[in-house]
Amino acid sequence: MNDRTQRRQALLDALDSRILVLDGAMGTMLQQHNLSAADFGGPALEGCNEVLVRTRPDVILGVHRAYLEAGADIIETDSFGGTRIVLGEYHLQHETAALNRRAAELARQAAAEFSTAERPRFVAGSIGPTTKAISVTGGVTFDALRENFYDQAKALVEGGADILTVETCQDTRNVKAALLGIARLRKELGFEIPVMVSGTIEPMGTMLGGQSADALWASIARQNLLSIGLNCATGPEFMTDHIRTLSEIASTRISCYPNAGLPREDGSYGETPETLTTQLARFVDHGWLNMVGGCCGTTPAHIRALAEMVKGRKPRAIPAPPRRSFYSGIELVEAEESNRPLLVGERTNVIGSRAFKELIAEEKWEEATESRGGRCAMARR
């Protein structure tokens, strides 16, 4: 099955009929190989997993094959830190296109080896959050992020990725930059690119940027997404309420691929294949999931157990978009009779603030958004 259109249709058909299994952690598997600095291309590149697609493609192929052998339907490329921003920290920004393309090619090769007419396997191009977040760390502009994500997405698609996975999302502004970069790519290429978005909810109950899971969904609900979900951060126990909430309001598919629990002081993870599967089975029993897999600390053994657990289980039925109005800043607000009227950003206009009016007239957009009159506030009367 080499035609991109055929693979996309096969993906949609598979999602309609069963729960698909994502692979597990890449880093955990690489650590088991005890790679030396030489494997990365020298001490200056040690720890840059993305460069291994060039220096040790045999290792990366081995990881992909291990997860496919365990029963994964979708494998992720070794490109989590594949933007110019992150690769630039290793002075590899000039290799951005080549490394991402090669990452997708390796995953495509492995997927083709295990694909059959009855059970095709798929490649998800992994797009991490970068090491910069507009709302958390600063040090980057929205336009720069959008270009970084566009460049990475383009190379991943050229290499054969069936899906683009914007994952481990910590800041909704970064997510929107990624989605706009991908939208530009879609327009240029002239075909649909399935996109998954997966947020990371910290133990305190929000993303690092402050948004809750339902607020994240409301912020991007109008996008044409293959799925929304959660990954990383915690084990499934702490994801329960957030996945339930997403399942109740999201009019697209739901994915969940948690860590094997919270990391211990020595860097190990406590969830065994059996305990992880037992907890995620509850999500499946409730009809919350369309895709399931593992993140940090998970291995082929975890994925094998998950693949066995979901056999014959029905995926979550995708509900029609709710006839409800949601708005999100840091939190989700639903417009309903009990809280009407809602005034959103009431002073973000040239009538409510003279200072704001003057900044807009002078086209000082950044200053306007930071001014007292320009700050978007939500008030209820």
Domain presence at residue 333: no
Element (H, E) at 184: helix 172-189
The number of helix segments (H) and strand segments (E) in the chain equals 15, 12
Whether 71 and 115 share a structural domain: yes
Whether 38 and 161 share a structural domain: yes
- Domain final position from 290, 310, 330: 310
Q: How far apart are CA 184 and CA 223, in angstroms?
A: 13
Whether 264 and 366 share a structural domain: no
Whether 58 and 166 share a structural domain: yes
Whether 350 and 231 share a structural domain: no
Domain presence at residue 269: yes
What sign does the CA torsion over 182, 18, 101, 26 have?
Answer: positive
Domain presence at residue 316: no
Domain presence at residue 221: yes
Whether 156 and 42 share a structural domain: yes
- Domain final position from 294, 310, 326: 310
Domain presence at residue 65: yes
Domain presence at residue 277: yes
Q: For residue 297, what are the contacts with CB-CB under 8 A and spacing of at least 6?
A: 25, 28, 259, 260, 261, 263, 268, 269, 271
Contact 129, 171 (CB under 8 A): yes
Whether 37 and 133 share a structural domain: yes
Domain presence at residue 334: no
Q: How far apart are CA 309 and CA 303, in angstroms?
A: 10
- Domain final position from 293, 310, 327: 310
Distances (CA, A) of 238 to 25, 39, 244, 285: 19, 37, 11, 17
Which domain, by its residues, includes 163?
4-310
Q: How many domains does the chain have?
A: 2
For residue 82, the model assigns a pLDDT of: 98
Q: How far apart are CA 262 and CA 269, in angstroms?
A: 6
> In 31-121, where do the E strands start and end?
74-76
Spans in the chain with pLDDT lower than 50: 372-381
Q: How far apart are CA 274 and CA 233, in angstroms?
A: 20
Tokens, residue 63: 């990881």
Domain presence at residue 297: yes
Whether 145 and 188 share a structural domain: yes
Whether 44 and 83 share a structural domain: yes
Strands 291-292, 20-21: pairing kind: parallel
For residue 375, the model assigns a pLDDT of: 43
Whether 365 and 258 share a structural domain: no
For residue 13, the model assigns a pLDDT of: 97
Whether 112 and 251 share a structural domain: yes
CATH code of 53's domain: 3.20.20.330
Whether 263 and 134 share a structural domain: yes
